[in-house]
Amino acid sequence: MKSQYLITLCFVLTLPFPLSSTTNSYESSCHKKKFPALYVFGDSLIDCGNNNHLPSGGADYLPYGIDFMGGNTPTGRATNGKTVADFLAMHLGLPFVHPYLDLTNHQRNKIRTGINYASGGSGILPDTNNVTSLTLDKQIKFFHRTVKHNLHKMFNEKEKMEKHLSESLFFVSTGVNDYFHNGTFRGNKNLSLFLLNEFTLRIQRIYDLGARKFFVNNIPPAGCFPSKAIRERPRGNCDEKINKAISFYNRRLPEVLHELQSLLPGFSFVHADLFGFFKELRETGKSYGKKKSQMANQRAFESF
């Protein structure tokens, strides 16, 4: 996960948001504190412990977390190490973002550097894994609570809070789980169009609560996830039917975001090609030091 994608992040982050200084080198753009906070919404790519608080459980057992800061303890992240959100926080000079459900109300009243609402298994739609994960609607509801109860108190003045929110970065990475019902692929063009529309409505809701700067991942190539590729012939090939449906969504996502930009005053976004990154990683994995295109635990990719 480390190198290429994040270098792209740093590079890309300098483009749409104006830098306050005249320097635009990679180093300064990556280590400068331009964003007061990072708020995170999405699925297991970036969940960092919310699901541990759900009855169905989360990534709360080994080998999850074995490489996280040398701790060798599960951190609630569906990975051996850091998530993209962790790397993003590091590169922005922010502390790791805490999962909303880990925090007491007292702690929520004090955190000015962002909160993570993401939940493994969740999607864009309210009926996607709505028992075992926090739906995007629920995540937005929790963010609403943060704004109304915690940030409001912290900033005293409404203008100061609005400034904070408008300068913060909102990272959204979701959608892959909507293509599966109980593990079975259910995608078609209609679903993709429907998802794009539903996604837009929810981005708009986050905007309405004060967010202005968005960092949006497209959907990764789920057809290449080991749980799918293992069933292909020849074994290990990507399921292109799945990838095709996801590509249909991905091709239109930037247009949809541009439409939002023309519609909503102050809205700006970075669109990141997670799909392309995963495809490239699959093809050139060895150069990243990756030995096998397999993940440690079936659950990690079943509810991505």
Beta carbon of residue 183, minimum distance to ligand NAG (angstroms, whole number)? 6
The residue (of 89 and 134) whose beta carbon lies closer to ligand NAG is: 134
Peptide bond into 95 cis (omega under 30): no
- Cα–Cα distance between 11 and 216 in angstroms, integer? 15
**28 catalytic, yes or no?**
no
The residue (of 227 and 261) whose beta carbon lies closer to ligand NAG is: 227
- Cα–Cα distance between 156 and 280 in angstroms, integer? 47
- Cα–Cα distance between 51 and 177 in angstroms, integer? 15
User: What is the residue type of 184?
Assistant: T
Beta carbon of residue 180, minimum distance to ligand NAG (angstroms, whole number)? 11
Q: Which residues bind ligand NAG (CB under 6 A)?
A: 126-127, 130, 182-183, 188, 190
CA distances from 105 to 169, 257, 272 (A): 22, 34, 33
Note the residue count of the chain.
304
The residue (of 64 and 180) whose beta carbon lies closer to ligand NAG is: 180
Yes or no: say if 23 and 34 are a contact pair by the CB < 8 Å rule.
Answer: no
Beta carbon of residue 135, minimum distance to ligand NAG (angstroms, whole number)? 7
The residue (of 5 and 304) whose beta carbon lies closer to ligand NAG is: 304
User: What is the residue type of 263?
Assistant: L
Beta carbon of residue 170, minimum distance to ligand NAG (angstroms, whole number)? 23
- Cα–Cα distance between 262 and 259 in angstroms, integer? 5
DSSP-derived secondary structure letter, 97: P
Q: Is 270 helix (H, G, I), strand (E, B) or coil?
A: strand
- Residues contacting 10, CB < 8 A, separation 6+: 26, 29, 30, 91
Q: Determine which one of 29, 44, 119, 173 is catalytic.
A: 44
The residue (of 22 and 184) whose beta carbon lies closer to ligand NAG is: 184
* Residue 106 in tokens: 């007292």
Beta carbon of residue 131, minimum distance to ligand NAG (angstroms, whole number)? 7
Peptide bond into 234 cis (omega under 30): yes
The residues carrying an active-site annotation are 44
